[in-house]
Amino acid sequence: MENQVYNWFIKSGNIQIQKEGDCISLQLDYEKEVYCLLTHSDAYEIIDLLTNISKKIWENPNYQRQPYTNRLFKHRGNEYYWEIESSQIIIKYNETDDAIEIKYKGNNRMNLELNYVIEIIQIMEQLSK
């Protein structure tokens, strides 16, 4: 699983996920839009993949666990977002398309520590209900 790259062609766009050391690399390709759209089944597949990779990282005896002391995401209107270095990852429910919308501001590729990934999974689960 160390070097495996997962490519998901979703409702609109493409999401690439890869384990990068103790982080999960997330890269979005919007195609013709300014965001990616995930159907509910897309979201659950991505959640399962993120959970499985996170579990492998967590169970690695060499993994240096970072304490989760405060909520990392911020909430603005119907958007949830995380600021990582000089970039943002934004997730929200798109009522028009009945899908989860995900986009970046800043870097096209982000390496996410597990605490960020866990919050993203939780928000995606909440929006997929």
pLDDT single digits (tens) 32-58:
778 899 999 999 999 999 999 999 999
pLDDT in tens, 80-128: 999 988 899 999 999 999 999 999 888 767 899 999 999 999 999 999 8
Domain total in the chain: 1
Domain limits at 120?
A: 5-127
Query: Which of 20, 13, 10 has the alpha carbon at shortest distance from 46?
Result: 10
Q: Which residues are 75's β-sheet partners?
A: 80
Look at 69 and 34; give whichever has higher pLDDT: 69
pLDDT average, residue stretch 19-43: 89
| Cross-sheet strand order for the sheet of 99-105 | 36-38, 99-105, 87-94, 79-84, 74-76
The pLDDT of residue 30 is 80
Q: What is the pTM (predicted TM-score) of this model? A: 0.90
